[in-house]
Chains A and B, each alone.
Chain A
Amino acid sequence: MKQLLLTITIFSFISVFSQKQLPNIMLKTLDGKSVKIQDKTSKNKITVLSFWATWCAPCINELDEISDVYEDWTEETNVDFIAISIDDSRTQKRINPLINGKGWEFNILIDKNQELKRALNISIIPHIIILKNNKILYRHTGYSPGFEEQLYEKIKQYSK
């Protein structure tokens, strides 16, 4: 345990000096094509990545709420929002009908064996990441009702 704490301290110290960059990992589009995440994030404007899964109730609650105000968000801040599903092959086939059935208009990408999730050290979902030029500006794990309002404040703050 002591060793563990020591390791954490050392590495946290080092981490202060390095910038947080989005790892360029291959994801899948809904129709099965391969794309690199950095080719999907926009340059010089804010991109929000939302990690979710079809079986994650708080994720669905969060994305349903954001979907209701999504038009306003994009009009007012020009933000790009990408919902990255970490569903594995058990539930992956449910992504397409779910997003259509719910009428979500986000960009959807699939992290099929959770490579990006792992590279970003995401343990639990939902998990939100705000990016600009692939630099990580903000992260948040979990969802409590009403968080979307706080998230929007953050987006506006970084969009300035």
Chain B
Amino acid sequence: MKKQLRISFILLLFSFILFSQENSNFSLGFESNSQYYVDDSKTGDFTLSEPFRANNYLKIDYTFGDFYSGLQVESYAPLALLNYSPKLKNTTIALYHIGYKSEKLDITAGYFYEQFGSGLILRFWEDRQLGVNNALRGGRLKYNPTNYIYLTALYGKQRVGFKVSNGEIFGFNSDIDLSSAFNLGNTALLFGFSYVGRKEKSTITLPAFNDLTNAFSTRLDYSKNNFYSSLEYVLKENDAVFIANKIRSVKSGNSFLLNLGYGKKGIGIDVTFRRMENMSFFSNRAATGNIYNESIINYLPALTKQHDYLLTNIYVYQAQPQIAFQDPTLVKFGEIGGQIDLFYKFKRKTTLGGKYGTKIAINTSYWSGLKGNFDFSNFDYSADFLAFGEKYFSETSLEVRKKWSTKWNSIFYYVNQSYNKRYVEETFGKVNSNIIVAEATYKLGGGKSLRIETQHLWTKNDKKNWIGGTLEINLNQKIAFYVNDIYNYENESISERIHYYNIGGSYTKGASRFALNYGRQRGGLLCVGGVCRYVPESTGISANIIMSF
């Protein structure tokens, strides 16, 4: 039945392509990430089956007049890259959709992505790097009765591997632009309300909880002249709490997010505060805490700076929205904290600005657990509203970008981190580190350029000091080569003092890119946008192909 559905869908798509030439648009995207894993005495031999592995994605979109359709073929053959969900195997049409869109109405059937507000209550998205694809399979209706009211209703089951969740999701969202409704001039005032219900049948009667879990979000955004602010509150009603794969208690959850900022030419400041208590929300309750990021309904990223450099990405904070009763000295039920950003430009022709101006960016963040009382034997707790518990993470960074001439550019970057490994990773220890990165780019003309980057990480904890560097050469606008290395030279275990080197090149033409790389992958967390995937240590040759037409 399912197969027939897919085949008829493809036939339908083809017939649309053949019969509609006018007003039609066709778009195609292909991405292939493959790796041949090799034995390496330093990072460990490759002992699993299939040393050659590849993840391939072919996405086809077709629109004709007010109708649109699309599908995505995914192929994980012979097997998916290391540490992608084992549910991803073989080749299949993983996603498909068809829809109608007019000025006021947008109807979709099939798989679709969506986000309500900031995603704190609901976000369906794709991140191929992380193996995240939690698209909803079902139906969605978007309706804008006026140009200031936006309504969305949806229903479906969430994609999990190549199947869908047991749990059903019901959603409703409204965004109302009050400033346009009441002609408030240069003031922007927006109100948002969302509802998300997740219904999953359970045979468990003790503790008692409803199959349907309701969650609500209310939002208000205000901005005027150079000032802006936003406020969001999410409430998740009582739901079963999974701890170590078992339902242990029934608790409600909530989240509070406040953001304030000010920006005018030359300066920008932003302050964010967030408190989350028991905010994990999965379409399958039993998926709570799964390492493959499957069945996630809401998006709870770490609100810290996302770094660009290898050594700044060793001790990466991850948001702690979940309940954990590991042992009486390691109990978690949420997080509280915030961050401040400052961007500033020293003007041209001033002492600090020089000929081209100097741009600085400062970020500081602090996150800790919620303070409260707990009863370890009954997996119960009560959290204070505005009190800071055990510190999980803090960080301060300074970035200085300076253009010296039309040929020379440089970046200086300093980061100070305090990472509570015991609480964030639920292992042992605390890490205090300082990192300095210096980078320079030299343009040789005719598209040729050279980029050099050096980095050092100082810490007396964990694996001690690291050193690293990168050299990148662009021969022209199409061909580039790079080599980089990070080395944990002070590791107490001599056998773990490994050069994680990589060497590679790429060829780019228009929207297509081909890249080849050989080297060692450091084991640990690979994080994109605040969501992380664990990657094991490995050595190999990898190829990446990206094409869009």
Contacts and interface: CB of A to CB of B under 8 A. Distances in A.
B393 to A, nearest CB: 15
A105 B446 CA distance: 27
A94 to B, nearest CB: 6
A102 B343 contact: yes
For chain B, what secondary structure do more than half of its interface residues adopt (helix, strand, loop), or is it mixed? strand
Interface in B514-549: 529-530, 546, 548-549
Interface in B275-309: 299, 301-303, 306-308
A31 B188 contact: yes
B113 A113 contact: yes
A97 B343 contact: yes
Contacts, number: 221
A71 interface: no
B58 A8 contact: yes
A150 B447 contact: yes
Contacts of A157: none
A124 B113 contact: no
A115 B511 contact: no
A40 interface: no
B196 to A, nearest CB: 15
Contact of B266 (A8, A101, A124): A101
A99 B268 contact: yes
B264 A100 contact: yes
B343 A98 contact: yes
Contacts of A24: 101
A96 B226 CA distance: 10
A12 B268 contact: no
Interface in A83-123: 88-94, 96-103, 105, 112-115, 118-123
B359 A101 contact: yes
A123 B345 contact: no
A34 B449 contact: no
B175 A139 contact: no
Given A12-B549, A18-B25, A144-B480, A88 B264 contact: no
B413 to A, nearest CB: 10
Interface residues of A, number: 66
Interface in A121-156: 121-124, 127, 138-142, 144-147, 150
Given A18-B26, A97-B263, A146 B443 contact: yes
A145 B474 contact: yes
B73 A7 contact: yes
Given A94-B270, A121-B548, A145 B29 contact: no
B140 to A, nearest CB: 13
B350 interface: no
Interface in B483-538: 506, 508, 510-513, 529-530
B156 to A, nearest CB: 16
A68 B405 CA distance: 12
A44 interface: no
B138 interface: no
Interface string A30-60: 1111100000000000000000001111000
Interface of B: 17, 21, 24-31, 56, 58-61, 63, 73, 75, 77, 91, 101, 113-115, 118-120, 123, 125-126, 128, 150, 175, 177, 179-180, 188, 190, 221, 223, 228, 230, 259, 261-270, 272, 299, 301-303, 306-308, 341-345, 356-357, 359-361, 401, 403, 409, 441, 443, 445-449, 451, 474, 477, 480, 506, 508, 510-513, 529-530, 546, 548-549
14 contacts: A18-B24, A19-B25, A90-B303, A98-B361, A100-B266, A101-B267, A101-B360, A103-B357, A121-B28, A121-B511, A121-B549, A141-B511, A141-B546, A147-B447
